[in-house]
Amino acid sequence: MGVLDEIVAGVRVDLAERQARRSLDELAATVAGLPPTRDPMPAFRAQGLAIITEVKRSSPSKGALADIPDPATLAAQYAAGGASAISVLTERRRFGGTLDDLVAVRAAVDVPVLRKDFIVTDYQLWEARAAGADLALLIVASLTDAELAHLLGVCRTLGLTGLVEAHTADEVRRALDAGADLVGVNNRDLQTLEVDLHQFERLVGLIPSHVVKVAESGILTTADVAVVAQAGADVILVGEALVKHRDPRQAVHDFIAAGS
């Protein structure tokens, strides 16, 4: 069993507990009272490099990354630096996140917010929407073709933008076949946790021009930003480098400048 399978197994246990406490009907009632979601696609498609900045406390590869007592404050700094969207890790066991972090971030910023988790059921998408998410991550490696197509459909119904994540050529093909119009190439292999910044470059040519391309993971410096931007990234997704930076607002600003 690879790391991804282990994480998903833990996610399913936590999910069953939450489902026992709160029914899908209750979530649906909450969702029915919400304003529409924020659409990230215009900013992603605009001229210049866009950045999704991540609130990430720890990771399976590196352990604790940063003490983030107040995710809302960090998110406000990201937004002030020019982030087009903010990703919030909501997985508890390996990443130290919760849906409460997402609620706090959503209230603190005007930009769209991504639920970054290991989504394998409809319930998690309803939960994401109820907590205020505007986007949801779908990881191709943890889903069958039928599940991926189904969950993308649920995203559309809920007004969520699906970010469909691939790491191999076959996964990119599967993302496109499912109808994704926002595709992320994760430079990190979630089964081994190995990072290769050049994975984005290798796969980006498989993605047609009308699809928005996101380069994810392992982007640590402005030189790294330039590498993926020159390879054709419309958007970059950055966590570690920003949560560890002493001035996240400035770091976001510098990353955008390096890619434009």
The catalytic residues are: 54, 56, 116, 165, 186, 216-217
C-alpha closest to that of 233 among 168, 171, 186, 169: 186
Name the token pair of 48: 């210049």
Q: Which is nearer to ligand IGP, 139 or 154 (CB)?
A: 139
Q: How far apart are CA 113 and CA 253, in angstroms?
A: 19
d(CA 151, CA 122): 7
What span, in angstroms and rounded, lies between the C-alpha atoms of 195 and 188? 4
Q: Give the nearer residue to ligand IGP in terms of CB position, either 54 or 134.
A: 54
Beta pairing partners, 23: none
* 85-89 vs 182-186, strand pairing mode: unpaired
End-to-end CA distance of the chain: give it in Å, rounded: 40
Q: CB 29 → ligand IGP: shortest distance, Å?
A: 29
Nearer CB in complex with ligand IGP: 134/240: 240
- DSSP letters, 138-156, are EEGGGS-HHHHHHHHHHHH
The residue among 95 and 123 lying less far from ligand IGP, judged by its C-beta, is 95
CB of 3 to ligand IGP, least distance (A): 10
By beta-carbon distance, which residue lies closest to ligand IGP? 239
Helix (H) or strand (E) holding 107: helix 99-108
| 232 conformational bin, left if phi > 0, alpha if psi -120 to 50, beta if neither | left
The DSSP element (H or E) to which 32 belongs, if any, is helix 24-32
**Least distance CB 23 / ligand IGP (angstroms):** 27
**Sign of torsion, CA 120 122 128 133?**
positive
Closest approach, Cβ 244 to ligand IGP, in A, equals 9
Q: Residue 35 Cβ, how far from ligand IGP at the closest point, in Å?
A: 28
The residue ranges that bind ligand IGP (CB under 6 A) are 54, 56, 116, 139, 165, 186, 216-219, 237-241
Q: Which residue has the tokens 């560890």?
A: 244
**Of 26 and 256, which CB lies nearer to ligand IGP in the complex structure?**
256
